[in-house]
Structure 1
Amino acid sequence: MNEHEISRSNAPEKPVLNIGFMALSDSASVIVAATQGFAEKHGLTLNLHRQTSWAGLRDKLLNGELDAAHSLYGLIYGVQLGLGGAPATDMAVLMGLNQNGQSINLSQPLQAAGVTSGEALSRYVHQNESRLTFAQTFPTGTHAMWLYYWLASQGIHPLRDVDSVVVPPPQMIEHLKAQRIDGFCVGEPWTAKAVEESLGCTLTTIQAIWPDHPEKVLGCTQAFVQQYPNSARALVMAVLEASRFIDEDEENKRSTAQLLSSHEYVNAPLSAILPRFLGQYEDGLGHAWQDAHPLRFHAAGAVNMPYLSDGMWFMTQFRRWGLLRSDPDYLAVARQVQQIDLYREAAQELGMATPEPMRSSQLADGTRWDGSDPAAYARGFALHALSGDSLESR
């Protein structure tokens, strides 16, 4: 049997899968897997379905219209825990899709008013009676948690000092133009496009807050994994190989960025996708740099392990901001959601490294996260939800 043949025992039970994605640069590995032969190599046909909102993507995962999807980490865990308006459903993180590549931007009027740093934003918020409105992409999602984390690190209480609204990623630019929002946290290419169109500035990248932070995942329901284990493993193998391909060299990144720019995928100018895809940043304030922690999809397997500690971190933030009213069994929930055994099988069959499922990270505010005591970590922040605070309706 050659490498392109699949044994009958490992053949996907469901060879045609419907895969959801959002118009974001970090959907790249899923799109490359579906369109560049990686899925076929593993006996799959992946039908891609671009979604207009994370809520819609979630609902289609739950009702079976989508088999798996490019997903927010916090979306998967929110559904697992019954948060954010969906019934509690057992969910699965098959693998990590990327690290880094998200930012927080402020509007042009704030920039013109000299609000070009966290310290300036904090002064503005506390000295002005009018409340600022920040957009994120989903109530339990990655961008909500990054936004709240960073605002709090600047002394701005995200539930009491500012307003927060949900806006789908591709709509951020129009909301900024219409001055319905004063800033946002979102993935690329939308922060780069805002800078390119002189609609404000990038105040911080999320990798400046947490270098090589967890970002999007390949998510599905537990029911899918249980019913179609071979299909799930084949899907992981296809996306893993696509991830490795993207990260192999600059030419592959350039060709992938070109693919993403097309109308059916991200539908954004290559000039907004490619530079930050390559780690080349401009913030709209006259600064340009080569980022030490650019958007990455594989990094010899370091990106793709569904780390237990990554899943646990999002639950600590749910607890911090009042979405969870008590501490869950953080490790037990993560062990249920993160499909570590399936991931290891797929990676080892491809000869890829499989890191340990707990990792340690130093965040910019001086905190260290290693998953060893999540309940204490969640309680250890100076700013957190108080009685009466709630994110449920936000």
Structure 2
Amino acid sequence: MTKHAAPEKQMVRIGFNPLTDCASVVMAAVLGFDEKYGIKIVPSKESSWAGVRDKLLSGELDAAHSLYGMVYGTQLGVGWQKRDMAILMNLNRNGQAITLSRRLAEQGAVDGATLAALMQSAPRTYTFAQTFPTGTHAMWLYYWMAAHGIDPMRHARVITVPPAQMVSNLGAGHMDGFCAGEPWGHRAVMDGIGITAATSQQIWPEHPEKVLATSAEFARAHPNTCRAVIAAVLEASRWIDASAANRMAMAEIISAVPYVNTSKDVISARILGHYQDGLGKSWEDPHPLRFHHEGAVNFPFLSDGMWFMTQQRRWGLLKADPDYLAVASAVHQIKLYREAADMTETPVPQGVLRSSTLMDGKQWDGSNPERYAASFSIRQ
């Protein structure tokens, strides 16, 4: 293990939104993994993804639990000022859900195919919410709808709602469904106001989800601090995934008011892979929310970042194809990650691209992003 210089900044303020997948950042601080690497992580609860972005750019936050696509949207200047960003690591895979209202379920819409049939047979304005225009949840929602023949840009109204406000807005009848991170999908099921129509891992098994992000400026000025943060969060990720008992202990801690602020049972079932859809169906999910998985989760594959750019291009958020590989190579701090992985004895994959097959049978491997982005029949 290589010895590295001391962190340039000891107190590191890391933003998060109240979601189950903020757990590795929170647990790195709670369990003291940060102190092992000469830093103190101060978790900062935020109320929206736009707030996270703004505080990252102003320097109020040093780093943040972030949406993959939000980082790329900022990097490419989609809907906001263009600023160079840095992804330090992936925080988790899987564990998000598309929820439909109980009212839609009673009309027969319980999955993608039946939703498409209902929208065709009973035309009106159907409203669905995602958590940020360029974010992961927007992309999962659009991909899922389009795979069932629904054009999200033409056949529906899509709005942006912060994750923790999804359930109350669904209950108030402001929308017909939403895509968000847990525990809010399960909360809607437990409250009897929504049903789980799809999990994100049904859309893309082992998909990338949140990342640990910072500005490129911060990463350049504080490489030792960034390396220490990655190492601390890697250790916390490994600890969470080590046992069901650790996951339950994590659920107890993050359910508290300073973090997710919900009951522990809303969090604990799905992190153990126990799913129910609100319609009487239960299953053990083979692709539950993962935080480490022997390091496979945490490596910032370039192809993961490139996929989000292909979808932003697909939906007209990007008006032209970027240089996908060059942009991802600039954003992903693979050298820092490898060094932190070495410090924590975390396995690192050989390559920087990986291959996946999504729900519509399309394969993504990062090899020809321009062709991939243009290959969808439903696109802008």
Q: TM-score, normalised by structure 2?
A: 0.98
Shift of 1:124: 1.2
In the alignment, is residue 207 of structure 1 matched against residue 188 of structure 2? no
Aligned residue number for residue 255 of structure 2: 261
Q: CA deviation at 1:18?
A: 0.8
What amino acid is the match of 1:289? W
* Counterpart among 119, 125, 149 of residue 125 in structure 1: 119
Counterpart mapping for 1:150-169 below 5 A: 150-169=144-163
Match for residue 13 of structure 1 among 8, 11, 21: 8
CA-to-aligned-CA distance 1:196-222 (integer Å, 9 cap, x gap): 011121000010111000000000001
1:108 aligns with 102
What percentage of aligned pairs have identical amino acids?
54
* Structure 2 residue aligned with 1:281: 275
In structure 1, what residue type is equivalent to 2:66? S
Equivalent in 176, 179, 190 of residue 173 of structure 2: 179
Whole-angstrom distance in 2 between the partners of 1:306 and 1:187: 20
Report if the CA contact (8 A) 2:107-2:118 is conserved.
no
Match of 2:293 in 1: 299
2:57 is matched with 62
Map Cα deviations across residues 212-248 of structure 1 (whole Å, 9 max, x no partner).
0000000000111110110000000000000000001
Q: State the partner residue of 2:210.
A: 216
Cα distance, 1:323 vs structure 2: 0.6
User: Are the equivalent residues in 1 in contact too, given 2:313–2:373 (CA < 8 A)?
Assistant: yes
For the residues of structure 2 that align with 1:179 and 1:364, how far apart are their CA atoms? 29
Secondary structure of the equivalent of 1:299?
A: coil
C-alpha displacement of 1:125: 1.1
1:318 maps onto 2:301 in alignment: no
Structure 2: stretches of 5+ with no match in the other structure: none
Q: Runs ≥4 in structure 1, deviation > 4 angstroms?
A: none
Shift in Å at residue 128 of structure 1?
2.2
SS at match of 1:207: helix
> Hey, what's the Cα distance between the residues in 2 that align with 1:129 and 1:117?
17
Matched AA of 1:363: L
Of 251, 266, 273 in structure 2, the residue corresponding to residue 272 of structure 1 is 266
In the alignment, which of 31, 37, 50 is matched to residue 36 of structure 1?
Answer: 31
Query: Helix, strand or coil: the match of 2:86?
Result: strand
How far off its partner does 1:270 sit?
A: 0.8
CA distance in 1, matches of 2:215, 2:247: 30
Q: Following TM superposition, by how much is the alpha carbon of 1:351 offset from its aligned partner in structure 2, in angstroms?
A: 1.4
Q: Does the aligned pair in 1 maintain the 2:26–2:43 contact within 8 Å?
A: yes
Alpha-carbon separation, structure 2, partners of 1:56 and 1:134 = 21
Could you tell me how far 1:10 is from its partner in structure 2?
Answer: 1.5
Give 1:129 shift: 2.6
Match of 2:72 among 69, 74, 77: 77
Distance 2:60 2:220 in 1: 17
Q: Gaps (5+ residues) in structure 1? A: 386-394
1:236-385 equivalent positions in 2, closer than 5 A? 236-355=230-349, 356-385=351-380
Q: Quick one: distance in 1 between partners of 2:6 and 2:333?
A: 19
Opposite residue 74 of structure 2, the aligned amino acid is V
State the alpha-carbon separation in 2 of the partners of residues 129 and 293 from structure 1. Answer: 35
Structure 2 residue 192 is matched with structure 1 residue 195: no
Q: Quote the residue 1:392 is aligned against.
A: none
Could you tell me how far apart the structure 2 residues matched to 1:25 and 1:302 are? 19
The normalised TM-score by structure 1 is 0.95
Q: Deviations over 1:280-331 (max 9, x none)?
A: 0000111101100000000000000000000000000010000111110000
Q: Which secondary structure does the structure 1 equivalent of 2:195 belong to?
A: strand
Using the TM superposition, give the Cα deviation of residue 47 of structure 1 relative to its aligned residue in structure 2, in angstroms: 1.1
1:366 and 1:177 map into 2 onto residues whose CA distance is: 34
Q: Secondary structure at the match of 1:298?
A: coil
Q: Partners of 2:244 and 2:169 in 1: how far apart?
A: 33
- 360-369 vs 124-133, greater mean Cα deviation: 124-133
